Structure 1
Amino acid sequence: MLTLLNLLSAIALLIWGTHIVRSGILRVYGSHLRNVLSRHADNRPLAFVAGIGVTALVQSSNATALLVTSFVSQGLMALTPALAIMLGADVGTALMARVLTLDLSWLSPLLIFLGVVFFLSRKQTRAGQLGRVAIGLGLIILALELIVAAATPITQAQGIKVLFASLTGDLLLDALVGALFALISYSSLAAVLLTATLTGAGLISLPVAIGLVIGANIGSGLLAFLTSSLQTPAGRRVALGSLLYKLIGLLLVIPVLDPLASWLDSFDWRPAELVIGFHLLYNGLRCLLMLPSIGLMARFCNWLLPDRADDSGVARARHLDPTALATPSLALANAVRETLRIGDLIDTMLGHLLEVLRDSQPAQSRELRRLDDDVEALYSAVKLYLAQVPREVLSEQDSRRWAEIIELAVNLKQAGSIIERMLGKVQDQKTAQRHSFSDSGLEELTSLHAHLMANLRLGLSVFLSADTESARQLLREKRRFRARERHLAHAHVGRLHHQVLQSIETSSLHLELIADMKRLNSLFCASAYVVLEAWETGALSAGEVGGE
């Protein structure tokens, strides 16, 4: 019993080490990995190679699957290159299995020692997170040694021999057991390495090991598909295509299992090395053979999982991937994109408001109110999404970005409410009381409206780029807007002095709209202060460090 517990604890340590490496890499280089994957999306061979590299780095094809399904769900990547990346991820997993079976026992204590030193001394810095990665790598190597040590006495247990003797080389049964190994250990890499250990210990034969390895790959595909259940149909198609490719691989091996096992047995390698070698050969050949068919597989997955029609009438978040919450940098990037989408809705609302100012249009009024409902829905989604981001693991920079996103989302939500109130005022004057603006008054409101829209777009650009020169330009535009607003208010009072009838009838509305636009302008320009404050704080810190 103790021996079995030792084996299970070693497997758990392997899984935990893999998790630490994956989370550490994604926290430090998460956004860079996204850029690597998205940059090569249009080229199938490069997408395939990118999948290999990213998976080798994060030590998990499941982590790569999360990134890719997130891209496809958000419309940032097509299904075809996503399938190419997933094929590359399978090869990356096989490569890492080969690396981790080398004699690296000397490396484990060194990595753990250095990792703990860096992680505890610089926990919130990049060096600290890289120390976390080193700890994870050290634990993986240590866990592999413990698995070998724990599996050795198990080979002497008669019950265990009988249990594994029931696996007689029936490929479908062996594949089912291998898939269960991968599901239980939450890692195909762990399942394959355990299979190699059991084969090396003489507990299972090579044909059985082949079935277990193929099943472990299928198990990882099942994991990815189950994990994608929270995604849109577009994201689930990626996991479905990857799973189907692995099932096809099983069907291809069934007719050649016996000659394949005999051919591998002819090599003068240790049994464990044969298992790892087969895993690499199988995934490499399978993925290269399947690569030309990704277009056909994409069409088949689109047919199996069509898009669901959304009849709710209210906009739904596109970029708030819940699977990215474990990686704060990715979650913040998702929240930024969704907040910019709210900004686009505000831009459209302002455009409809101008049409209503020029001429009462019931259709435009209804559309503007619908857009305000969309703004409310997306604001609530962004707010709840950010509330789930673990604040304690955020770096200082990420914490500042978290606050910036919340602030802009709140400002845009307030802007939507102001625009809807402006619509109500205009409709009351122009529809209920049959009043209309004078030509001069309408021209003034139109010019101020154009300046307001330009400041909105510049404010969103400043929020996205955090460029200090653009932030200063936005503040200059804010001052220009205020000067223009005062000038137009004075001009309106001048028309009242000249007894212009239309100006008298719409005087209150005219001045209220100018005041509302002033409030909107302040909301749109707030991002400039955030960028400049962050820059000045950084410059001050650098100066203090230099002074020391």
Structure 2
Amino acid sequence: MIVSILAPFTFGLTFFLFGMYAMRSGFQNLAGKKMEEWMGRFTRTPLHSFWIGLFATFVLQSSSAVTVLTIGLTNAGIIQFTQTVGIILGTNLGTTVTTELVALKLESFAIPMLLIGVALWLMPRRNIRCIGLVVAGFGLIFLGIDTLKVMAKPLEQSETFRSLFLESSHSIWIGLITGVIFTALIHSGSATTVITMGLLSHQILSMETALAIVLGANVGTCFTAVIAAIGTNTASKQVAWCHTLFNVAGAIVFLPFLSQLALVSAFLTDSPSMQIAHSQTIFNLVCSLVALPFVPQIARFIQWLIPDKRRPTDLTFRKKMVSSRWK
């Protein structure tokens, strides 16, 4: 029983994460070199920052990667903390693009996409090779999903596992914490969401428990950013904790309304996987749109919460240096 669960879980998760890495590498080589320049130049307003965050997350296929990149730019003094709040809101929405694509159930195209991607990668031209990485990455992601489905059958038959999730269905907080911990361990909220989709489609989880796990995954994805901010300047720490506190606040606010969120997603589609994807999109879209008009207030609150202990003269000098770079 344990082997029949662990083997497909390990291989499926490996395929999925490696596919994400391959796709991210392909996109990075196509547009990643300009990403820092775009993030430095086109984040003058909260709305511009929001779109840059959304686009960057789609390109890099990881909200954690974009947040870590933002921390690096802030630590280098290229952008200021106030410019990063909009980016953070955009990353939360951008990460739902992958989930929506995954929910389309394109697993039957996994092997053809993988073979096409490898064929393109063997081509001499650099751009075609990068496109090949992206295509092969998508193929590996769908292959990983197909492999993860294999573990659902023995899980469905396991009384221990059923009783565990039956217990967690009585408390959505357990689902939330499960999502946080698992995502923090594997550093991928998308992977956690995909596994949750598989369990839900086999009726191992209730919809509310599944949604609680997805909300937890949104919080768990901040763990990488918090680690990346260790040893950096105050502005970088403010970026990491702004991302974390925003996702925690959103999860706590939405937690009592999971039944309503489930009803809305069920109205939109009959597919359990699509319901999860739509719910995550609705959650992130509502949170981002509600917060976007209050970006200056959010920035001031975070700066009050994590104050910069440097002297005012040092701050003035740093700001002059940053502004002179872009003149």
| Equivalent residues of 2:81, 2:238 under 8 A apart | yes
1:128 correspondence with 2:129:
yes
Residues 311-350 of structure 1: pairs in structure 2 closer than 5 A: none
- Counterpart residue number, 2:155: 154
CA contact (8 A) 1:118 1:128 kept: yes
Report if the CA contact (8 A) 2:99-2:194 is conserved: yes
Match of residue 62 from structure 2 = 60
The alpha carbon displacement at 1:182 in A equals 0.9
User: What is the 5 A alignment of 1:32-43?
Assistant: 32-43=34-45
Q: Is structure 2 residue 224 aligned with structure 1 residue 223?
A: yes
**Residues 232 and 26 (structure 1 numbering): CA distance in 2 closer, same or farther, change over 3 Å?**
farther
Write the letter of the residue equivalent to 1:271: P
Q: C-alpha separation between the residues in 2 aligned to 1:227 and 1:157?
A: 39
Given the superposition, is the C-alpha separation of residues 257 and 230 from structure 1 closer, same or farther in structure 2, using an over 3 Å criterion?
Answer: same
Q: Superposition pairs for residues 390-409 of structure 1, below 5 Å?
A: none
Match of 1:383 in 2: none
Match of 2:189 in 1: 188
Is 1:11–1:185's contact at 8 Å kept on the other side of the alignment? no
User: Conserved in 1, the CA contact under 8 Å of 2:24 and 2:60?
Assistant: yes
What is the letter of the counterpart of residue 256 of structure 2? P
* Aligned mate of 2:113, from 82, 107, 111: 111
Give distance in 2, aligned partners of 1:254 and 1:280: 15
Q: Which deviations, in whole Å up to 9, do the C-alpha atoms of 1:8-62 show, x marking residues without a partner?
A: 2201221121122223322342222223322320122222122112211221111
**Which residue identity is paired with 1:297?**
I
CA contact (8 A) 2:261 2:279 kept: no
Find the aligned partners of 1:269 and 1:127 in 2 and give their Cα distance: 38
Matched, 1:100 2:102: yes
Between the two proteins, what is the percent identity of the paired residues? Answer: 24
Tell me, which stretches of 5 or more residues in structure 2 are unaligned?
312-317, 319-327
Cα distance, 1:206–1:103 mapped onto 2, change above 3 Å = closer
- Summarize the alignment of residues 377-416 of structure 1 with structure 2, pairs less than 5 Å apart: none
Residues 363-374 of structure 1: matches in 2 within 5 Å? none
Paired residue for 2:53, among 51, 54, 59? 51
Question: Is the Cα contact below 8 Å between 2:15 and 2:141 reproduced in 1?
Answer: yes
Contact 1:15 1:186 (C-alpha < 8 Å) held by counterparts: no
Structure 1 segment 284-295 matched on structure 2, within 5 A? 284-295=285-296
Point out which structure has higher relative CO (alpha carbons under 8 A, 6+ apart).
2
Return the index of the structure with the highest Cα Rg.
Answer: 1
Q: Does the residue aligned with 1:129 lie in a helix, a strand or coil?
A: helix
For this pair of structures, how many residues does the alignment match? 311
Corresponding position of 2:284: 283
Cα deviation, residue 92, structure 1 = 0.9
Map of 2:14 onto structure 1: 12
Report the alpha carbon displacement of residue 264 of structure 1 after superposing the two structures with TM: 4.4
Q: Residues 262 and 275 of structure 2 are in contact (CA less than 8 Å); yes or no, is this contact kept in structure 1?
A: no
Q: Is the 8 A contact 1:79 1:298 kept in 2?
A: yes
Question: How far is 1:266 from its partner?
Answer: 5.4
CA contact (8 A) 1:167 1:208 kept: yes
The TM-score with structure 1 as length reference comes to 0.53
Residues 1:249 and 1:111: Cα distance change in structure 2 (over 3 Å): same
Contact kept? 2:49, 2:86, Cα under 8 Å: yes
Encode CA deviations 1:108-165: one digit per residue, 9 max, x unaligned: 2233223223434549x34333323332221112111222233233212222212212
- Say which is worse superposed, 203-212 or 142-151, in terms of deviation: 142-151
Cα deviation, 1:422-467, whole Å, max 9, x if unaligned, reads: xxxxxxxxxxxxxxxxxxxxxxxxxxxxxxxxxxxxxxxxxxxxxx
SS of the aligned residue for 2:307 comes to coil
Match of 1:175 in 2: 176
Alignment match, 1:70? 72
Which ranges of 4 or more aligned residues in structure 1 deviate by more than 6 Å?
Answer: none
Question: Whole-Å Cα distance in 1 between the matches of residues 32 and 264 of structure 2?
Answer: 42
Give 1:297's aligned residue: 298
Residue deviations 1:321-375, cap 9 Å, x none?
xxxxxxxxxxxxxxxxxxxxxxxxxxxxxxxxxxxxxxxxxxxxxxxxxxxxxxx
- CA displacement, residues 211-248 of structure 1 (integer Å, 9 cap, x when unaligned): 11110000012222222224322112112101111111
Gaps of 5+ in 1: 311-317, 319-548
Root mean square deviation, CA, Å: 2.4
**Alpha-carbon distance in 2 for matches of 1:37, 1:107:** 34
Q: Measure the CA separation in 2 of the matches of 1:219 and 1:273.
A: 22
Q: Paired residue for 2:238?
A: 237
What TM-score, normalized by structure 2, do the two folds share?
0.87
Letter matched to residue 228 of structure 1: A
